[in-house]
Amino acid sequence: MSELRRIQLLTPRLANQIAAGEVVERPASVIKELLENSLDAGARRIDVEVEQGGIKLLRVRDDGGGIPADDLPLALARHATSKIRELEDLEAVSSLGFRGEALASISSVARLTMTSRTADAEQAWQVETEGRDMQARVQPAAHPVGTSVEVRDLFFNTPARRKFLRAEKTEFDHLQDVIKKLALARFDVAFHLRHNGKTVFALHEAHDDIGRARRVASVCGSAFLEQALPIEVERNGLHLWGWVGLPTFSRSQADLQYFYVNGRMVRDKLVAHAVRQAYRDVLFNGRHPTFVLFLEIDPAVVDVNVHPTKHEVRFRESRMVHDFLYGTLHRALGEVRPEDQLAVPAAVGQIVRPTGQAAGEFGPQGEMGLAAAHVLEQQPQVQQSSVWRSAGAGYQAPRPQGGMPQAENQGAYREYFAPLPDAAPAGLPQSQGDIPPLGYALAQLKGVYILAENAQGMVLVDMHAAHERITYERLKTAMASEGLRGQPLLVPESIALSQREADCAEEHAEWFQRLGFELQRLGEESLAIRQIPALLKQAEATQLVRDVLADLLEYGTSDRIQAHLNELLATMACHGAVRANRRLTLPEMNGLLRDMEHTERSGQCNHGRPTWTQLGMDDLDKLFLRGR
């Protein structure tokens, strides 16, 4: 029989070391906590010095408000903080740190020295502590206004934790990444980093758009900024601004994604889902979008006290935040035209709203959010330019080949599959006026690519991919205007669910009906599917309803139905697009170019592949070594 073990209080050192297991994982964790304290203290310049990747030494020096001498020992005590007083303060946290555990946890697994001076103090004071005894020693010191914190020999008294540290370069890379993330959050603060006596970077204060763009370029690379779209939208107390990468500038990993809530870097599944939805139609399979985005929201409606390291947040109105993020990014990406892509490098540093969008407007929004709005709301028709009408009016898609949905399911979409005419109007005159963004067609290469000349140089267009996107967008527009028709099932399908899922389906029954579904509650944990959208009659209705309900419970909205519909429309558009080896006349080619300039998301086909590329005169000169 095992020995009876009595309950006893943990020693302060052991309690802090347990807390350190949550807060202090590696040197990067320490630097995050120290930098957040400096920023909360009002620092305008922060100097970081590191040795051996932060394992031997971490020194952070700032010019903030400092800590009074009497408070220095208390600063190292557990659950001691100057940032909250009452429960009400915790319900609207505006500071980065507030838990009062960081310094105590760090000092329990390292040798910590903190020196500080306030503006009204005659001299600075220093406090030292080590993990072995936790007794703070205070003494006078020399130091300007501000605070310096030295952390030496991390995990010197917990060898088991030290064994989990990686190589010096790996630890330093993690540490450097944390500093860069915080540097993006606070453009008004200068950050300087030295490693083993060598300067790694010096980021100066940025008070204007150009300065902020320079910092973004230094952290994310100039290529990101050249291929990013600046946005700024405000609505219902939500303010979103920053940069979103064009779909063509995607990554194989999600390593260039920075999202901040009130200046706090967060990793949130709701945010990730909204961004993924916005890029769904334009991103190649397996690729990840890039963005640097800042969401400003009332601190009272966001809970930052849900994780010890404060990496996660919880929104009180999660569905509203999700729809706002999705809608803003969806419209911004949808309204990118060729002229915008050509002008992106010139617009570096400028924060602008998406084309034609006023502050606070982010597209149509149905009752269940923007995912369903494409089906339920009327969208603006794609307009044809005057050049298109005059010279390319004969350009239409050929009839689809085999494997298409039956005619009764195409409805209003049949007009988009008319054959090309045998002859087309005469070619475009080379106007001396403004040259269109994609220029004028010169020739067709191997029946696949269109060669055109614009103001910048040469444009290459994949004609099938381009026309596939144009047809796809027109099909979506036609569906939005005509709506979804339901098809009753001859034999209703019963589905067993949890009571929570069944309640959710009953609550959103009207929304399901607007999307072409008819669901009937049979019991506490069962439903009957009596009708499904006609276009999705080949889909697995039971699994689709399950997936939609899972999304509704998780995010408050779902795009599953829209995704299935879009897959079908994309297939229709692919079959309906002009095929490779189809010879086009110059007027037809120019008509396609003009249509691309007026079609949403025309830079990518339905599968996320690029539809056109630009070769400027500088690029061509480099190919032929001209001017060297």
What is the tens place of the pLDDT at every residue in 344-403?
Answer: 554 444 444 443 343 333 333 333 333 333 332 333 333 333 333 333 333 333 333 333
Q: Assess whether 357 and 410 both reside in one domain.
A: no
Q: Are 287 and 170 in the same domain?
A: no
Over range 596-600, report the average pLDDT: 91
Assign 239 a pLDDT band (cuts: 50, 70, 90): very high
- In this predicted structure, the answer to whether residue 439 has a pLDDT above a threshold of 70 is yes
Shared domain for 187 and 233, answered yes or no, is: no
Return the pLDDT at 242: 94
Residues 163-216 pLDDT 10s? 888 999 999 999 999 999 999 999 999 999 999 999 999 999 998 888 999 999
> Mean pLDDT throughout 110-131?
90
- CB under 8 Å to 525, separation ≥6 — which residues? 496, 497, 498, 499, 502
Sign of the dihedral through C-alpha 350, 354, 356, 361: negative
CA pair distance 222, 350, nearest whole angstrom: 15
Any residues with CB less than 8 A from the CB of 526 and at least 6 apart, and which? 494, 495, 496, 497, 502
- Asked if the model's pLDDT at residue 240 lies above 80, the reply is yes
User: Can you point out the beta strands (E) in 463-602?
Assistant: 486-496, 518-523, 526-533
How far is Cα 489 from Cα 445, in angstroms, rounded to an integer? 49
Spacing of C-alpha 246 from chain mean position? 11
The whole-chain average pLDDT of the chain stands at 79
Domain range spanning residue 217? 209-363
Using alpha carbons only, give the angle 381, 385, 387 rounded to the nearest 5 degrees.
155
Same domain, 329 and 466: no
Q: What is the CATH number of the domain that holds 192?
A: 3.30.565.10
Helix (H, G, I), strand (E, B) or coil at 521: strand
Domain boundary among 156, 176, 203: 203
- For residues 131 and 240, membership in a common domain is answered with no
* Distance between start and end Cα atoms, the chain: 88
Residue 398 lies in a domain: yes
**Neighbour count for residue 404 (Cβ, 10 Å):** 15
Say yes or no: 391 and 357 in one domain. no
Report angle CA 557, 563, 564 to the nearest 5 degrees.
120
Are 393 and 329 part of one and the same domain?
Answer: no
Q: How much is the average pLDDT of 423-448? A: 71
Alpha carbons 338 and 596: distance in angstroms, whole number = 8
What distance in Å separates the CA atoms of residue 214 and residue 220, rounded to the nearest whole number? 10
pLDDT at 546 over 60: yes
User: Are residue 144 and residue 283 in the same domain, yes or no?
Assistant: no
In a domain, 257, yes or no: yes
Residue 195 sits in the same domain as residue 214: no
- Mean pLDDT over 411-431 rounds to 44
Please indicate, yes or no, if residue 4 is contained in any of the structural domains.
no
Q: Flag whether 6 is in a domain.
A: no
- Alpha-carbon distance of 337 to 527, in angstroms, equals 45
Residue 336 and residue 414 share a domain: no
Residue 351 maps to which CATH number?
3.30.230.10
- The confidence score (pLDDT) of residue 533 equals 78
End-of-domain residue from the set 363, 396, 415: 363
Number of domains the chain contains: 3
CATH number of the domain that residue 527 is part of = 3.30.1540.20
pLDDT of residue 372: 33
Q: In angstroms, how far is CA 495 from the centroid of its own chain? A: 36
pLDDT value of residue 22:
65
Q: Which residue has the higher pLDDT, 8 or 289?
A: 289
Tell me the per-residue pLDDT of 303-339, one tens digit each, with 9 for 90 and over: 877 766 667 788 888 889 999 999 999 999 988 888 8
Asked, for residue 436, whether it belongs to a domain, the answer is yes
